[in-house]
C-alpha cells in the first residue's frame, strides 16, 4: 500500500510537472510599459547633449560615402564639401525628423501577432549575426541553414519573443551571394511572427522586400510595416554606400529601418560616457534625417549598438555600468525627438553559458527595460560578444524576457479588492493556500519560471541534479519535437521558391555580397 501511495504521488508530481513545463506558444502581445523610466539627466543636461550633437553636425560634419546621398543633401541645400563631408544645419535636421512617425504598427503573417512600437510599446527580438553557434549538445561550431531554421522554430515558440528576426546564425553552407534569399525564406516559413529583413547590400534589400511583397500581397507594403532593416554607421561620423543604399530600399517601400551608430566606447567615440552619447546622437540624427529625404513620413527608428572597449585588450565589453547609463541617456534623447528607439538586450562576453553570461545579461536587461526602449534587439542567445548564439542561452533568455515583460507591465490592480477580502476571510494565523482567491489567481499572481530550479536540494537531487544548461537543452529538444509549422499558403510558398530559384540563377554563386545583380 505504501509503495502504491508513493508511486501515485510520484505520478501526480510528474503529471503536474508535465503540465507546468508543457510548451506554451501563444505569443505575448505588445509590451505596454507600466513602470516609470529611469532618466538620469535633467532637462538642462538633455539640452546640453542635444546642442552638442547639433554643433557636431554643423561644425564637424558627417561623411556620406555615397553619390546618391550626396546629391540628395545638395538638393535640400546642405553644405557638401568635395571629401563627401556634409555639414548639416540644425534647422534642416530638426525639420526633417519631425516627419518621422512616433508609432509603428507591424503586421505579421498571423494577424493575432501584430505588434506596436513607440511610446510605451515595446517588443523583444532575438539576436542576429552569429558566425558560430552552440548546438543541442553545447558544441561550438559553424551553423547551417537547418540550424537557422532551428532557431526560427524556437523563436516561433517563445511567448515573449515578438519576432523571428533574420540571420540569428549565419548559414555557412549557403554561398554569401545567395544567403539573404534563404535566410528570408526561413524567417517566413518557420514562423508567422514579424521578422527582420537583410540589408547586406542594396540589391539584397530589394530582394527581401520583393519576397515580402509576395508574402503579403501586391501594394501591402505601401501602407503596412511588415519587416525591419538595420543600417549600421561607421563611427565616428561616417555612413557608407552599402548601408545607405539598403536604407533607401527600405524607405522607398515604406518599411522601418534602424539607424544604428556602432559604438565602441573609447575606440570610436571619446572615452567619456556623456561625450560618446553626444557623438552617437549626432550620427543617429543625421541618418534619421536622411530617411526623410528619401521618403517624407516613412517610419524610422533611432538605433544604436553600445559597447565599451577594454583598455587592457581592446576587446568589446558588455554589461558595464557605462552601457547602462548610455541606455538611460539615449532613451531620454529619443523621447525628446519623439521617435521610437532600439537598443540591444541580454548581451555578454562569456565564452560559455555560465555565471558571467548571466550577470552581464541581467545587468544589460535591467537597464534596457528601465530606459524605455521600444525595439529590444538581441534578446535571446547572445554570447561571446555576439560571436556565437547558444541554444541553451536562447531558451533561457526568452524566459528571462518573459519575466522582464511581467515586471515592466507594472502593478496589477484588477483583483485588489478581492485579494483584500481574502485577508478578512483568513484572519490572523491562517494561510491562503486553500483560499478561493489563491486557487483562482496563483498562476498569474507570481511568475513561475520553467527553467529556473527553486525546489529543495533533495528534490533537485531526485530530479537528476541538473544545472540550468542541461534543463535548457532538454527544454529546447522538447520544444523542437512538438513544433508545428505555421504552414504558408501553397501558392505563396511556390511563388517564394520560384523567386529564390530565379534570383539564384541571376546572381553569381560567389562568396561576396550581391552589389550588381
CA distance linking residue 400 with residue 10, whole number of Å:
29
| Residue 326, pLDDT above cutoff 50 | yes
- pLDDT class of 20 with cuts at 50, 70, 90: low
Q: Write the pLDDT tens digit of every residue in 176-214.
A: 999 999 999 999 999 999 999 999 999 999 999 999 999
Query: 176-189 and 145-157 are packed helices; what angle lies between their axes, rounded to 10 degrees?
Result: 30
Contact criterion met (CB below 8 Å) for 340 and 334: yes
CA distance linking residue 63 with residue 53, whole number of Å:
15
Instruction: Please provide the average confidence, as pLDDT, over all residues in the chain.
Output: 94
**% of residues, the chain, pLDDT over 90:** 87
| Residue 12, pLDDT above cutoff 70 | no
Q: What 3-state DSSP class applies to 433?
A: coil
pLDDT at residue 314, rounded to an integer: 74
For 58, residues 6+ apart whose C-beta sits below 8 A from its C-beta are 87, 88, 89, 90
Lowest mean pLDDT among 39-43, 74-78, 280-284, 512-516: 512-516
| Residue 17, pLDDT above cutoff 60 | no
Lowest mean pLDDT among 238-252, 310-324, 357-371: 310-324
Q: Write the pLDDT tens digit of every residue in 285-308.
A: 999 999 999 999 999 999 999 888
CA atoms within 13 A of residue 282's CA, in its CB half-sphere: 31
For residue 149, how far is the Cα from the chain centroid? 18
| Residue 4, pLDDT above cutoff 90 | no
Contact criterion met (CB below 8 Å) for 359 and 346: no
Q: What 3-state DSSP class applies to 342?
A: strand
pLDDT at residue 356, rounded to an integer: 96
How many residues are present in the chain? Answer: 517
Contact criterion met (CB below 8 Å) for 203 and 516: yes
- pLDDT class of 419 with cuts at 50, 70, 90: very high
C-alpha distances out from residue 151 to 118, 154, 162, 169, Å: 27, 5, 14, 8
| Residue 3, pLDDT above cutoff 60 | no
pLDDT at residue 370, rounded to an integer: 97
pLDDT at residue 475, rounded to an integer: 97
pLDDT at residue 207, rounded to an integer: 98
CA distance linking residue 306 with residue 363, whole number of Å:
14
pLDDT at residue 444, rounded to an integer: 85
- pLDDT class of 11 with cuts at 50, 70, 90: low
- Would you report the helix, strand and coil content of the chain in percent, each value rounded to 5? 50, 15, 35
Average the pLDDT over 485-501 and give the result: 97
pLDDT at residue 239, rounded to an integer: 98
Q: Minimal CA–CA distance to 390: which of 453, 348, 342?
A: 348
pLDDT at residue 310, rounded to an integer: 78
Beta bridge partners, 300, equal: 257
| Residue 5, pLDDT above cutoff 50 | no
Q: What does the buried/exposed string (b/e) look like for 495-507 if buried means 16 or more CB atoms within 10 Å of the residue's CB?
A: ebeebbeebbeeb
What's the start-to-end Cα distance of the chain, in Å? 76
Beta bridge partners, 265, equal: 308
CA distance linking residue 171 with residue 177, whole number of Å:
12
Contact criterion met (CB below 8 Å) for 265 and 314: no
Phi, psi for 428 (deg, rounded to 5): -65, 140
| Residue 53, pLDDT above cutoff 60 | yes
pLDDT at residue 131, rounded to an integer: 98
**% of residues, the chain, pLDDT over 70:** 95
User: For residue 456, what is the DSSP state?
Assistant: -
- pLDDT class of 7 with cuts at 50, 70, 90: very low
Beta bridge partners, 194, equal: 163
Amino acid at each position: 500500500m505504501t509503495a502504491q501511495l508513493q508511486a501515485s504521488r510520484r505520478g501526480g508530481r510528474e503529471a503536474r510537472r508535465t503540465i507546468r513545463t508543457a510548451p506554451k506558444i501563444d505569443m505575448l502581445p505588445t509590451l505596454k510599459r507600466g513602470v516609470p523610466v529611469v532618466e538620469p539627466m535633467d532637462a538642462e543636461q538633455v539640452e546640453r547633449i542635444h546642442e552638442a550633437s547639433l554643433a557636431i553636425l554643423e561644425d564637424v560634419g558627417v561623411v556620406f560615402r555615397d553619390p546618391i546621398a550626396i546629391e540628395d543633401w545638395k538638393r535640400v541645400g546642405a553644405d557638401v564639401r568635395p571629401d563627401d563631408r556634409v555639414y548639416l544645419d540644425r534647422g534642416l535636421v530638426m525639420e526633417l525628423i519631425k516627419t518621422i512617425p512616433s508609432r509603428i504598427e507591424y503586421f505579421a503573417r498571423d494577424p493575432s501577432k501584430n505588434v506596436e512600437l513607440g511610446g510605451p510599446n515595446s517588443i523583444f527580438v532575438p539576436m542576429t549575426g552569429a558566425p558560430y553557434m552552440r548546438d543541442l549538445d553545447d558544441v561550438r561550431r559553424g551553423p547551417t541553414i537547418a540550424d537557422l531554421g532551428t532557431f526560427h522554430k524556437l523563436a516561433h515558440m517563445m511567448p515573449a519573443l515578438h519576432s523571428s528576426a533574420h540571420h540569428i546564425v549565419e548559414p555557412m553552407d549557403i554561398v554569401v551571394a545567395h544567403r539573404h534569399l534563404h535566410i528570408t525564406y526561413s524567417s517566413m516559413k518557420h514562423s508567422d511572427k514579424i521578422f527582420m529583413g537583410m540589408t547586406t547590400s542594396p540589391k539584397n534589400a530589394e530582394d527581401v522586400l520583393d519576397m515580402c511583397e509576395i508574402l503579403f500581397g501586391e501594394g501591402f507594403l505601401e501602407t503596412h510595416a511588415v519587416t525591419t532593416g538595420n543600417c549600421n554607421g561607421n563611427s565616428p561620423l561616417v555612413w557608407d554606400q552599402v548601408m545607405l543604399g539598403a536604407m533607401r530600399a527600405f524607405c522607398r517601400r515604406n518599411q522601418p529601418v534602424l539607424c544604428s551608430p556602432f559604438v565602441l566606447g573609447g575606440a570610436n567615440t571619446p572615452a567619456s560616457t556623456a561625450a560618446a552619447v553626444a557623438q552617437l546622437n549626432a550620427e543617429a540624427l543625421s541618418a534619421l534625417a536622411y530617411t526623410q529625404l528619401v521618403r517624407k513620413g516613412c517610419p524610422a527608428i533611432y538605433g544604436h549598438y553600445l559597447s565599451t572597449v577594454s583598455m587592457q585588450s581592446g576587446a568589446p565589453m558588455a554589461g558595464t555600468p557605462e552601457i547602462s547609463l548610455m541606455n538611460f541617456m539615449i532613451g531620454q534623447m529619443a523621447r525628446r525627438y519623439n521617435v521610437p528607439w532600439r537598443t540591444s538586450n541580454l548581451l555578454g562576453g562569456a565564452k560559455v553559458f555560465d555565471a558571467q553570461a548571466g550577470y552581464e545579461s541581467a545587468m544589460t536587461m535591467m537597464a534596457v527595460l528601465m530606459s524605455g526602449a521600444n525595439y529590444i534587439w538581441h534578446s535571446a542567445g547572445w554570447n561571446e560578444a555576439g560571436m556565437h548564439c547558444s541554444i541553451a542561452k536562447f531558451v533561457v533568455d526568452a524566459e528571462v524576457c518573459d519575466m522582464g515583460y511581467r515586471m515592466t507591465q507594472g502593478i496589477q490592480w484588477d483583483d485588489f479588492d478581492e485579494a483584500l477580502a481574502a485577508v478578512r476571510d483568513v484572519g490572523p494565523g491562517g494561510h491562503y493556500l486553500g483560499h478561493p482567491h489563491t486557487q483562482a489567481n496563483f498562476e498569474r499572481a507570481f511568475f513561475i519560471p520553467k527553467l529556473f530550479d527553486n525546489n529543495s536540494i533533495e528534490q533537485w537531487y531526485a530530479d537528476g541534479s541538473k544545472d540550468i544548461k542541461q534543463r535548457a537543452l532538454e527544454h529546447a529538444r522538447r520544444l523542437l519535437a512538438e513544433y508545428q509549422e505555421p504552414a504558408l499558403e501553397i501558392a505563396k510558398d511556390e511563388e517564394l521558391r520560384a523567386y529564390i530559384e530565379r534570383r539564384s540563377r541571376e546572381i553569381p554563386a560567389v562568396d561576396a555580397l550581391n552589389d550588381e545583380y
